[in-house]
């Protein structure tokens, strides 16, 4: 009985550590809208935003209206945002299916898309904002960003 209790405690601790690791406060994903015509590369549509002027120029807004109420001057003192579009065609990617890992000089965005197999049309792309703690990752602009479909 005591062995089962100790084993249960160990499993509980491992679960807590694993779940806490997924909810890294240095990275947050949000559904958003922005003007993608501001981008240099029309294939990937990804851009770093780290100041109020760029956010206004890109017409960045969030689906959660409370996020639109934040003071942009204070937000960008500690935060940078990576905007990207993912999915579309035969796959829809909910923002909650995204996670991030840092591997050396690479920000790896992992996603698990919902693949559409029926001939009912195409899925809409997801507009996503990854917020990163720029004080903890001051070289964020120099890091490579990759996208990995974890469902493959």
Cβ of 87: how many Cβ atoms within 10 Å?
Answer: 22
Q: How far apart are CA 80 and CA 64, in angstroms?
A: 18
CA dist., res. 50 & res. 24, Å (int): 20
Residue bearing tokens 């990207």: 84
Q: Look up the pTM and report it.
A: 0.77
Of 10-14, 97-101, 110-114, 139-143, the one with minimum mean pLDDT is 10-14
Kindly write down the DSSP assignment for every residue of the chain, as one continuous string. Answer: -HHHHHHHHHHHHHHHHHHHHHT-TTEEEEEEE--GGG-S-TTT-EEEE-SHHHHHHTT-EESSGGGGGS-HHHHHHHEEEEEEEEEEETEE--GGGEEEEEETTEEEEEE--EE--SSS--EEEEEEEEEEETTT-TTGGGSEEEEEETT-
Q: Give the pLDDT confidence of 99-140 residue by residue, as tens digits.
A: 999 999 999 999 998 877 666 667 788 999 999 999 999 999
Q: Which sequence spans correspond to the domains of the chain?
A: 22-149
**Each residue's pLDDT tens digit, 61-85:** 999 999 999 999 999 999 999 999 9
Left if phi > 0, otherwise alpha if psi is -120 to 50, otherwise beta: which for 45? left
The torsion angles phi and psi of 96, rounded to 5 degrees, stand at -70, -10
Predicted confidence (pLDDT) per residue in 36-65, tens digit = 776 555 445 788 999 999 999 989 999 999
Residues forming a β-bridge with 29: 130
């Amino acid at each position: 009985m005591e062995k089962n209790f100790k084993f249960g405690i160990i499993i509980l601790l491992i679960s807590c550590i694993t779940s806490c690791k997924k909810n890294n406060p240095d990275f947050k994903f949000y559904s958003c809208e922005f003007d993608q015509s501001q981008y240099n590369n029309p294939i990937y549509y990804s851009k770093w935003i780290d100041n109020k002027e760029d956010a206004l120029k890109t017409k960045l807004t969030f689906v959660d209206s409370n996020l639109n109420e934040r003071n942009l001057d204070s937000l960008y003192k500690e935060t940078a945002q990576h905007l990207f579009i993912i999915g579309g065609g035969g796959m829809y990617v909910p923002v909650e299916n995204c996670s991030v890992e840092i591997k050396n000089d690479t920000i790896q965005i992992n996603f698990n898309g919902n693949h559409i197999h029926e001939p009912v049309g195409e899925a809409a792309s997801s507009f996503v904002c990854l917020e990163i703690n720029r004080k903890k990752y001051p070289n964020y602009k120099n890091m490579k960003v990759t996208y990995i479909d974890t469902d493959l």
